[in-house]
Structures are given as structure tokens and as C-alpha cells.
Amino acid sequence: MSRIQTYYRSGLLMVVLFIASSCTERIDIELGSTFQRLVVHGTVTTDSVRHQVNLSVSSDYFVNKPSPRISKAVVELSFDDMTLLLSEHDTIPGLYETPYAFRGVEGTTYKLDISQVDADQDGQYETYHATSTMPGGTVLHSIELRYIATPIFPGYQVAMYAIHLPEQRDWFGFKLWKNGFLLTDTLAKYSVMSDDLFDDGYFPGFPAGFLSDEDPRQAVHPGDTVTLELNCIEQEYYDFVIDAQLEIMGNNPLFSGPSANVSTNIDNGALGIFAAYSIQRASSILPQ
């Protein structure tokens, strides 16, 4: 081996070692505080329930405690020629409910108004507004449980059969229940999609969920009842879920774009979402 080759290889080795050590170097990032913003999560559905709106404020990144709740706000829900004043829950601060149960109606536009709130604590009250029109038109017919016997992830695929209007652009959310218990109980587990793959208006056994044998909560046994909940949602809710899940799971690949605020339909700088959506459910019992 020549002296030049020796120098070259030695230099290349030092560059590799430098890069490797640089990749493992600890970097402390100082994240300063910012002003607090109102965080809203409210829904109106076709279920006959007292519909709810949750109000809190944003917190700094490294704060290891629940975000402060907003009490004594004025929260109003308007639709058709009616306006309902929501009342704060007796034992859960920041949770506001309609005065009585009712079913939301597809095609109806719901307006949320929030006032008497000082989220940024500057001594001045702010007001916030949002609207959502409840989609409809999709009919959920049935579901089928299909066993997938793979050596890595065995379990039951939940296949959905449904019809929607082919000329209408739709967005959907999916929740899974087993024996009356909600399995998709966090935003990270909530699955959403658009109808881009189904221009003919028919979902022919679409795989809307999966229940793994490896997870005791999900594992399905003979006699168990599995329920698929189909939510017909607006694009704003779809975008909110996709953005929020991206922030929860982190960007991939490593050199993707920087994080950004999750999309919202609440005005005046607030965060969160107000969504009106229809609900349909179909169940299947695993034979004994």
C-alpha cells in the first residue's frame, strides 16, 4: 500500500469517526415560553346525547402536567333558528354541555360561539367562533371479520361494506369497539381517510380496522361482538386529525420539513377543532 493510500484511508477513517461522534452529541435546545392560547375540542353528532365542548389553554412543551382548564366561559351553540347556552359540568372544569340531549341532523350548519375568556391573561376578554356543517349521504351496510393468519401480526381484519354518492367528495373516520368498550380511545388510534380510492361510490369490503391477537384488549374470541363506528366528517376535521397525528408520531424521514401548528377551524388564534359529524355503526359476532 502506498503512503498516499495510507494517508487517504487514515483521513477517511477520521472523517467517519468525526461524523459518528457528531451524530451522538447531546444538544440542549432552549424552548422559551409563549403566550397561552385557547384550545377547543367540541363535537355535535347524530347520537342522542348532550353534546360537549372542552376548553383549556395551551402549555409550554416541557410542562409535565395537564393543561389548565377554562371555567366560567360563555359557550353557545346555534343552528337553524335556535341558540343553546351550554352549562359547565358540575365536577369537570372546562367541560360544557348542551342543556338537553338531541340528535344532530345531516346537512345542518352548527355555529359555536365562545366569549368571556381571557386565554392570554392580558386582562381583556376574547371571543372565538367556529362553524361546521354535518356531512351525510354514506350508508354503512355491514362489516365482516376476516382472520389474517400471518406469523408476525395475526388477528382479525374488520372489512366494511358501504355505499356513498360517487359525485360527492367525502371524508371518513373509523372507531372500533369490542363488547361495548372503545378500543380506538385516543387521537393517535383514530383512523381517517378520504374516498379518493372509491370513485364508483362503493366500499367493497374495505379494511377499516385490525384487531391483533397479540393485544389482550383487541384479541377477539368466539362470542365476542365487534362494532365498527363510521364517522362522516368534514375535510377540516380530517386535516386536523392528520396534522395532530403527525405531531404525535414525529416526522419521517429524518430530514423532512419542520413542525407546524395543527390546522384548526377556530378563529382568533385558538387551537383545536369543532366538528359536526354523522355516526353509523355495524356489528358482527364471532361464531362460537
Pairing assessment for the beta strands 191-194 and 271-285 based on DSSP bridges = unpaired
Model pLDDT for residues 161-201, shown as the tens digit of each residue: 999 887 778 899 999 999 999 999 999 999 999 888 776 77
Model pLDDT for residues 156-168, shown as the tens digit of each residue: 999 999 998 877 7
Q: How many residues does the chain have?
A: 288
Pairing assessment for the beta strands 38-45 and 202-212 based on DSSP bridges = unpaired
Q: Indicate the domain borders of the chain.
A: 38-133, 139-261+279-285
Identify the pLDDT of residue 160: 95
Rounded CA-CA distance 130/275 in Å is 9
Q: Which residue, among 145, 114, 106, 74, has the nearest Cα to 233 in the 3D structure?
A: 106
Identify the pLDDT of residue 167: 77
Contact 58, 271 (CB under 8 A): yes
Cα separations (Å) of 272 from 128, 182, 216, 230?
Answer: 12, 22, 32, 22
Radius of gyration of the chain (CA): 25
Identify the pLDDT of residue 24: 54
Rounded CA-CA distance 80/109 in Å is 8
Omega prior to 222 cis, within 30 of 0: no
3-state secondary structure the chain: CCHHHHHHHHHHHHHHHHHHHHHCCCCCCCCCCCCCCEEEEEEEECCCECCEEEEEECCCCCCCCCCCECCCCEEEEEECCEEEEEEECCCCCCEEECCCCECCCCCCEEEEEEEEECCCCCCCCEEEEEEEECCCCCEEEEEEEEEECCCCCCEEEEEEEEECCCCCCCEEEEEEEECCEECCCCHHHCEEEECCCCCCCEEEEEEEEEEECCCCCCCCCCCCEEEEEEEEECHHHHHHHHHHHHHHHCCCCCCCCCCCCCCCCCCCCCEEEEEEEEEEEEEEECCC
C-alpha cell at 203: 366500499
pLDDT tens by residue, the chain, 288 residues: 554 444 445 455 554 445 555 555 565 555 555 678 999 999 999 999 999 999 999 876 666 677 899 999 999 999 999 999 999 999 999 999 999 999 999 999 999 999 999 998 899 999 999 999 999 889 999 999 999 998 888 999 999 999 988 777 889 999 999 999 999 999 999 999 988 877 677 888 999 999 999 999 999 999 999 999 999 999 999 999 999 998 887 666 555 655 668 999 999 999 999 999 999 999 999 998
Rounded CA-CA distance 30/46 in Å is 46
Q: What are the residues whose beta carbons fall under 8 Å from the beta carbon of 66, sequence distance 6 or more?
A: none
Q: Under CATH, which architecture does the 38-133 domain have?
A: Sandwich (2.60)
Q: What is the pTM of this model?
A: 0.83
